[in-house]
Chains A and B, each alone.
Chain A
Amino acid sequence: MSAIVTIQDVVKEYNLGATVVQALRGVSLTVDKGEFISIAGPSGSGKTTLLNLIGCVDTATRGRVEVAGKNTAELSERELTDLRLNTIGFIFQSFNLVSVLTVFQNVEFPLLLQNKLNAKERKARVEALLEQVGLLTHQKHRPNELSGGQRQRVAIARALVTDPLIVLADEPTANLDSETGQAILDLMKSLNQQKGTTFIFSTHDHRVMRYANAVVRLADGKVLGRESPEDAVAHAMGLETPKHAEVRTP
């Protein structure tokens, strides 16, 4: 399989007053097309920062971030926005839906930004996705009329509506109860299997890691290793590190 995301020796520093905080310290990582990969680690380990760099909403201090074959450091603000629009779908921990738009309009919005499909095609695409996430009957509702799980399903539909190569999900189940969270992960997994979309999601919940094909463990801004979900869960639960742990370098 070919790489869709390549990260080489990436450092990300934040200035907090006079103090420089290193959120990522020389991270290297490759994600292949069609993977369902989890980035795991405790709070402050750099998971969200890594996702932000892959999602082109932030830039690395040093190192190289390549998304869909493009070096993000060489792209203009407009090109980065276009890359996000056409290549990446976002699922946020707190859903981040536009409160004044209906479910249908929220999902349709990226298609309007793309301006590639006509109204009929857009309607068909949005309704198909809403049916897939089980919200076709709620298409005229506003986000505040939905439960947390329903909102996250809208966010998933919005992330997938442009048929992106990569979907980034930052702690997608963190604000959901375990049953709803499991349903969301089942949905994401089935979409990954049906469409071959690459999913990269962050979590520190070992129950969520089990869904991944592979887990990249982060701690203190460094990649500790790329593991199977079972090994990652064992790590997360404080069990002995399995011997078959594998670290991939680009």
Chain B
Amino acid sequence: MNLFDRMLWVIAFRSLMQHRLRTLLLGSAIAGVTALLVTLTGAFVGIKTTLLVSATTLMSGHVNVAGFYKSSPTSAAPVVTNYKKVREIIAKEVPELDYVVQRGRGWAKLVSESGSQQVGIGGIDINHEPGFRKVVQIKEGKFEDLEKPNAMLIFEAQARKLGVKVGDTMTIVAPTFRGTNNTLDVTLVAIAADIGMLSSWNTFMNDQGLRQLYQLNDETTGALQLYLKDIEQVKPVQERLRKVLAAGGFELLDPDPRPYFAKFDSVNRENWTGQKLDVTNWEDETSFVQWIVTALTVLATMVIVALVAIIGVGIMNVMWISIRERTREIGTLRAVGMQRGSVMAMFMAEGTLLGFMGTVGGGVLGVLLSVGLTQAHISLPPSWQFIFFSERLVISPTAFWVFFSVGFITAAITAISIIPSFLAARLKPITAMSHVG
């Protein structure tokens, strides 16, 4: 930056300081919008992070190797036979792997003395589930009791609906393809805190119990959930797995980015029998809840655009006032030899500076607000928990989104200041110097 450019910034800064009250009011409005944007983006990151953690822990892993076994063309069962061989291939071919768990999959009616509910059942080996223990918070009972045969874990809302407490017995009724029902009595050993929408239909039980329910052998499971050291590696790992599993003699379903329960119809329409594996990722398996993030993004974008537009009108008005007050100054500067481009740059610098000061203040405010709200452990109402995938409000402002908010709003304000700056620059020196007022 040469000295002349620096002088333009000096003029811009001092002009803003000369009208402190006006600058403060407008700067505060800009700061408010920026803080809101930082908080909203923090909330999205919080939702996405919670979704990622809860979805990958409860349902999918980062990469999911599952599939269907069909004894007849129209009887798809969501199981992986010979899963130990699949697991060996994964261990050999995926160095990015942190750990892998096997989960049984079931869909059944859970019946208590006072009610019933249709639920998804995950069969887990609690001794090999490091992530599960971190994410799921036990409100009543103990994780360790899931080691017991026919032990079950459900979530708080489900327990309320079913009217059960730890120690109660319930019955699982699972329909079979033959039109009959398999039933199994289970004992409720733990009630966990709700994890938003995903915990509304997920339950977990001892994996041996689930095998017993569906009469599966020890070589069979529902899915292998892979947890990677770096989640950015999901796509390459997914692609590699498809190749190595095919090379290992496994047949695979065509890539289909939908959760497994949405594929029954299409799989049942395909004319094959036997086992086919399906390699998906966490986003595929949670695509049915991604609409929440999309809807919130659209909503927040509309709010931000509306707020920026309102701020824009304010900026435009202030620039007009500033230009009107300084018209004679513009005339003088043009008379002493300032080119139009420099006049425009001077006023744009004022807009940019105002925007930058406001947004930086707003960025800091937004981070403090986000941290404060998160630290306050504010309990969310049930309907909000459903959307936020959490009992409590979690806002996670990230450096990227803070810088984005500062940059975006500063850029918007700079863009808004182009019009008045351009018109100021177009003023003829004689017209500007003759200005009265």
**Chain B positions 314 through 337: 1 when the CB is less than 8 Å from some CB of chain A, otherwise 0:** 000000000000001101111111
The answer to whether A85 touches B14, judged by C-beta atoms less than 8 angstroms apart, is no
- Can you name the residue of chain A whose Cβ is closest to the Cβ of B7? A112
The A77-131 residues at the B interface (CB cut-off 8 A) are: 77-78, 81-82, 84-86, 90, 92, 96-101, 105, 109-110, 112-115, 119
Q: Which residues of A contact B332 (CB under 8 A)?
A: 90, 92, 96-98
Q: Within the complex, what minimum Cβ distance (angstroms) separates B404 from chain A? A: 32
State the 5 A-B residue pairs at the shortest beta-carbon distance, nearest first.
Answer: A85-B337, A100-B14, A96-B332, A57-B429, A112-B4
The answer to whether A85 touches B336, judged by C-beta atoms less than 8 angstroms apart, is yes
The answer to whether B2 touches A110, judged by C-beta atoms less than 8 angstroms apart, is no
- A180 touches B (CB below 8 Å): no
Q: Which residues of B contact A64 (CB under 8 A)?
A: none
The B235-292 residues at the A interface (CB cut-off 8 A) are: none
The A49-71 residues at the B interface (CB cut-off 8 A) are: 52, 55, 57-58
Q: Name A residues whose Cβ lies closer than 8 Å to a Cβ of B.
A: 52, 55, 57-58, 77-78, 81-82, 84-86, 90, 92, 96-101, 105, 109-110, 112-115, 119, 158, 162
Tell me which of B7, B14, B337, B428 contacts A84 (CB under 8 A): B337
Q: Which of B4, B18, B333, B429 has the most A CB atoms < 10 Å from its CB?
A: B429
Q: Which of A77, A82, A162 has the most B CB atoms < 10 Å from its CB?
A: A77
- Can you name the residue of chain A whose Cβ is closest to the Cβ of B433? A57
Tell me which of A84, A98, A162 contacts B335 (CB under 8 A): A84
Can you list 17 A-B contacts with CB-CB less than 8 angstroms, sorted by A residue number?
A52-B430, A58-B429, A78-B339, A82-B337, A84-B336, A84-B337, A92-B332, A97-B332, A99-B329, A100-B15, A100-B17, A100-B18, A101-B10, A101-B11, A112-B7, A113-B342, A162-B337
The answer to whether B337 touches A57, judged by C-beta atoms less than 8 angstroms apart, is no
CA gap between A101 and B10 in the complex, in Å: 8
**Chain B positions 10 through 22: 1 when the CB is less than 8 Å from some CB of chain A, otherwise 0:** 1100110110000
- B340 touches A (CB below 8 Å): yes
Q: Which residues of A contact B1 (CB under 8 A)?
A: none
Q: Which residues of A contact B335 (CB under 8 A)?
A: 55, 57, 84, 90, 96
Tell me which of A52, A81, A98, A105 contacts B337 (CB under 8 A): A81
CA gap between A157 and B12 in the complex, in Å: 23
Tell me which of B7, B15, B340 contacts A77 (CB under 8 A): B340
The answer to whether B338 touches A115, judged by C-beta atoms less than 8 angstroms apart, is no
- B3 touches A (CB below 8 Å): yes
The answer to whether B329 touches A98, judged by C-beta atoms less than 8 angstroms apart, is yes
Tell me if B's interface is mostly helix, strand, loop or mixed: helix
- Can you name the residue of chain A whose Cβ is closest to the Cβ of B8? A112
CA gap between A57 and B11 in the complex, in Å: 23
The B149-205 residues at the A interface (CB cut-off 8 A) are: none
- Can you name the residue of chain A whose Cβ is closest to the Cβ of B4? A112
The answer to whether A113 touches B10, judged by C-beta atoms less than 8 angstroms apart, is no
Tell me if A's interface is mostly helix, strand, loop or mixed: helix
The answer to whether B14 touches A101, judged by C-beta atoms less than 8 angstroms apart, is yes
Q: Within the complex, what minimum Cβ distance (angstroms) separates A97 from chain B? A: 8
Q: Within the complex, what minimum Cβ distance (angstroms) separates A132 from chain B? A: 19
The answer to whether B337 touches A119, judged by C-beta atoms less than 8 angstroms apart, is no
The answer to whether A81 touches B338, judged by C-beta atoms less than 8 angstroms apart, is yes
Q: Within the complex, what minimum Cβ distance (angstroms) separates B121 from chain A? A: 72
- Can you name the residue of chain A whose Cβ is closest to the Cβ of B13? A100
Q: Which residues of B contact A105 (CB under 8 A)?
A: 7, 10
Q: Which residues of A contact B3 (CB under 8 A)?
A: 112, 119
The answer to whether B4 touches A57, judged by C-beta atoms less than 8 angstroms apart, is no
**Chain B positions 407 through 436: 1 when the CB is less than 8 Å from some CB of chain A, otherwise 0:** 000000000000000000000111001000
The answer to whether B336 touches A110, judged by C-beta atoms less than 8 angstroms apart, is yes
The answer to whether A98 touches B11, judged by C-beta atoms less than 8 angstroms apart, is yes
Q: Which residues of B contact A52 (CB under 8 A)?
A: 430
The answer to whether B15 touches A113, judged by C-beta atoms less than 8 angstroms apart, is no
The answer to whether A81 touches B339, judged by C-beta atoms less than 8 angstroms apart, is yes
Q: Within the complex, what minimum Cβ distance (angstroms) separates B204 from chain A? A: 68
Q: Which residues of B contact A55 (CB under 8 A)?
A: 335
The answer to whether A86 touches B336, judged by C-beta atoms less than 8 angstroms apart, is no
- Can you name the residue of chain A whose Cβ is closest to the Cβ of B3? A112
- Can you name the residue of chain B whose Cβ is closest to the Cβ of A52? B430
The answer to whether B337 touches A113, judged by C-beta atoms less than 8 angstroms apart, is yes
Tell me which of B14, B337, B339 contacts A86 (CB under 8 A): B337
Q: Which of B3, B18, B332, B342 has the most A CB atoms < 10 Å from its CB?
A: B332
The answer to whether A57 touches B329, judged by C-beta atoms less than 8 angstroms apart, is no
The B1-54 residues at the A interface (CB cut-off 8 A) are: 2-4, 7, 10-11, 14-15, 17-18
Q: Which residues of B contact A58 (CB under 8 A)?
A: 428-430
The answer to whether A110 touches B14, judged by C-beta atoms less than 8 angstroms apart, is no
CA gap between A234 and B342 in the complex, in Å: 47
Q: Within the complex, what minimum Cβ distance (angstroms) separates B99 from chain A? A: 64
The answer to whether B18 touches A114, judged by C-beta atoms less than 8 angstroms apart, is no
The answer to whether A109 touches B7, judged by C-beta atoms less than 8 angstroms apart, is yes
Q: Within the complex, what minimum Cβ distance (angstroms) separates B216 from chain A? A: 81
Q: Within the complex, what minimum Cβ distance (angstroms) separates B377 from chain A? A: 49
CA gap between A99 and B11 in the complex, in Å: 9
Q: Which residues of B contact A86 (CB under 8 A)?
A: 337
The answer to whether A158 touches B336, judged by C-beta atoms less than 8 angstroms apart, is yes
CA gap between A114 and B338 in the complex, in Å: 9
